[in-house]
Structure 1
């Protein structure tokens, strides 16, 4: 069951009629009450009060799935041995939503389309919905075609970093016709899974290590560490081949550190993140983000939009009272900067013993300032905090 902390029920947002009389275990003077639930978060919190209210939420969730919502920050796993997972909502009230997620415990995961792709120590791979806890079994890590690369990993730690990004074409909650593209392996290749496949299929493009991937207008787009973009149609006649698009101009190559692809108002954008590589003093931290169109013309303003980057599939949302316009919300997905330190051999430098979670914030594209979006402490070397789009 989902529960909430720091949620006030004295003045709930109200918008639609909910028949509280459907809940026989709740004692009210009146069998019905009017509640104007104007935010998706309010509706989820409503269902977290008790079992009876959760039943009402389940019965009405289709009507509420289109409510306005803001991304949640899924915080790192607690070290108290519990299966509870906290979700931070960056609204004015700064709510923490808490859910029992035993199927995510001790696993590496990524988020896309409101789902988590989880990788377990036994190499099992699943899709997991964090609110409904529905789980879909996928082919495990041993079904990847480039098995020779797996030999370069310590087999008991293979699940830590074999997959580096995962993106869904669409949500399994709304369609059975979905595909998943992942960045994987020692040299960060592309591979995909289509519903019903028995194995992951590698795409051979002969480019450098891929940095990000996104699904846009029926095809997957991926960008490598040199700014080269490849387009893949996994449902086309040549699903294992990619079409290479124009490359980054030489003037930008000296400043490459981390690249992302994100859609905003129907247009694909490239985001360049700087400051994330490990420095001489074993520290890392974002110093600047720049946004470009696919022709590498720099974008000076995002307008009334905000971008969300990290171990999630990159996305944009319309700004609101809770989400700042012309800003980029980022989390600590610079795996190379803290992973080797957290799991270092004895005697090796221990840069960040707590793992990822340090390099998070809100970058303002107007003035270059950075401010925190979460002021607590949440670190983990396996699955640090990441953005999740709440959905049913």
Structure 2
């Protein structure tokens, strides 16, 4: 029973937030459902700090399924009645199913700040940002104006519950960019941007984009929209065919170049932007950190809190969504692994007996358990239907009423 307090042997009342800090990680690690750990982080600032270290980056499994036809050829299809998303814990090799009726008849991928991007398969292709743990949804303009709605990827400047949030979208097939604010009726496009954009990032209050040649663009999300090519010295050997990613590490902006050979990843190069000299500096070591690369989001993290992530390594996953929607049989088995910057060697993560490596994957970093007080409640949709799966879900409302963390 939950009464907001614990009773010791002496019958003295102890607040949940006053539990000894030493036992909290032990308790949290016993919880199998990541939603339960997340909700523990809503109790107080201390619990939040510990829950954040317990929740590792997950692999978000695509809801696009794989099947083999009578000729033995692999194809992909999307089930329209799936009401959950699957998170694969690389630390324990366990898959967690999260009940989410909001993703039914939707394609979904990861976004920034631990929210999912959901796009309805049926016209007008409604778009939402969804917190899979609280089931809060933020409406975005529909994807009907895009040629390939399911190729849409977005990043946000902050958590979508923040009223100042900006959402930047990149369309992979066309390489074009657009932005909006939650609640907008339409996307605002950057015109004549070109078709060679690889990645976008939000860095120190500004949006940036990089193309296949390593050219960096500064994006101004206002009206009229403006994009400015930064006068950087180009990387001489960088040619089309490489995949480029933008990642922030220790306050620096990094360009991570993914080298490919015959559709397989062959190695990586890392560069740090020198803002004064306006050139890219080759980086040989990222210290006690790891970089996680993916189409949905690319991040860096210190490896101290998470076992099975090695220092000075780049973890990469298959991010070719084209294969799923054009029925191309590009198996991503040799495109998921990690690159050791110390040895220059690649080690593949996949187990050929596991089907998770045969689907499109996204890195998913759980959202920070913070409740924002915001004035734009009209853009938030909350689904009240559905079964509650864990006892933590039953006490969530009383927890939120009892304590709201400060921003």
TM-score normalised to the size of structure 2? 0.71
Structure 2 runs not aligned, ≥5 long: 66-78, 274-278, 370-407
Cα distance between partner residues in 2 of 1:298 and 1:82:
45
Counting only pairs closer than 5 Å after superposition, residues 212-251 of structure 1 correspond to structure 2 as 212-234=199-221, 240-247=225-232, 249=234, 251=236
Q: Secondary structure at the match of 1:38?
A: helix
The correspondence of residues 171-250 of structure 1 with structure 2, limited to 5 A, is 171-173=159-161, 175-184=162-171, 186-204=173-191, 206-234=193-221, 240-247=225-232, 249=234
Determine if the alignment matches structure 1 residue 351 to structure 2 residue 329: yes
Is the Cα contact below 8 Å between 1:307 and 1:327 reproduced in 2?
yes
Rounded Cα–Cα distance in structure 2 between residues aligned with 1:98 and 1:372: 25
- What secondary structure sits across from 2:342 in the alignment? coil
Distance 2:271 2:341 in 1: 12
SS at match of 1:286: strand
Give 1:371 shift: 2.3
| Equivalent-residue separation in structure 2 for 1:40 and 1:343 (angstroms) | 46
Deviations 1:109-129 (A, max 9, x none): 332110011111121110011
Task: Give secondary structure in 2 for the equivalent of 1:166.
Answer: strand
Aligned counterpart for 1:168 among listed residues 156, 162, 180 = 156
- 1:124 aligned to 114, 123, 126, which one? 126
- Asked if 2 retains the 8 angstrom alpha-carbon contact of 1:78 and 1:85, the reply is no
Instruction: Say whether residues 1:371 and 2:319 are aligned partners.
Output: no
Asked whether the equivalents of residues 76 and 380 of structure 1 are also in contact (C-alpha less than 8 Å), the reply is no
Contact 1:139 1:200 in 2 (8 A): yes
Counterpart secondary structure, 1:170: coil
| C-alpha contact 2:317 2:362 (8 A) present in aligned 1 | yes
1:230-283 per-position Cα deviation (integer Å, ceiling 9, x unaligned): 111325xx551012113453622336410010000000000100116xx3xxxx
- For residues 371 and 187 of structure 1, the distance between their equivalents in structure 2, rounded to whole angstroms, comes to 32
> In structure 2, do the counterparts of structure 1 residues 357 and 224 end up closer, same or farther at CA, with 3 Å as the change threshold?
same
Residue 40 of structure 1 contacts residue 64 of structure 1 at CA under 8 Å; is this kept in 2?
no
Mapped partners of 1:41, 1:317: distance in 2? 21
> Which has more strand, going by share of residues?
2
> What is the match of residue 140 of structure 1?
142
Q: Answer 1 or 2: higher relative contact order, Cα 8 Å, separation at least 6.
A: 2
Structure 1 distance, partners of 2:170, 2:102, is 23
Rounded Cα–Cα distance in structure 2 between residues aligned with 1:170 and 1:221: 15
Select which of 351, 361, 386 maps to 2:337.
361
Alignment RMSD, CA only? Answer: 3.4
Deviation at 1:343, TM superposition (A): 3.1
Between the two proteins, the alignment pairs up a number of residues equal to: 330
TM-score (norm 1): 0.73
Tell me the secondary structure at the aligned position of residue 297 of structure 1. strand
> Helix, strand or coil for the counterpart of 1:178?
coil
Deviations 1:12-31 (A, max 9, x none): xxxxxxx965499xxxxx99
What SS does structure 1 have at the residue aligned with 2:239?
Answer: helix
Look up the match of 1:269: 254
Preserved contact between residue 178 and residue 194 of structure 1 (Cα < 8 Å): yes
Range that drifts further, 118-127 or 258-267: 118-127
Partner of 2:376: none
Counterpart mapping for 1:1-392 below 5 A: 21-22=3-4, 36-38=23-25, 42=29, 45=32, 57=40, 60=43, 63-67=46-50, 68=53, 69-77=55-63, 82-91=82-91, 93-105=92-104, 106-122=106-122, 123-142=125-144, 144=145, 150=146, 153=147, 158-161=148-151, 163=152, 165-173=153-161, 175-184=162-171, 186-204=173-191, 206-234=193-221, 240-247=225-232, 249=234, 251-254=236-239, 256-275=241-260, 279=262, 284-294=263-273, 295-320=279-304, 321-322=306-307, 323-336=309-322, 338-339=323-324, 343-344=326-327, 350-352=328-330, 359-373=335-349, 375=351, 376-378=354-356, 384-391=360-367, 392=369
Q: Distance in 1 between matches of 2:115 and 2:143?
A: 19
User: What CA distance in whole angstroms lies between the structure 2 residues aligned with 1:198 and 1:358?
Assistant: 41
Displacement of 1:202: 0.6
Distance apart, 1:44 and its partner CA: 6.3
Asked if 1 retains the 8 angstrom alpha-carbon contact of 2:108 and 2:116, the reply is: no
For structure 1, list consecutive stretches of 5 or more residues without a partner in the other structure.
Answer: 1-18, 25-29, 145-149, 345-349
Change (3 A) 1:356 1:159: farther
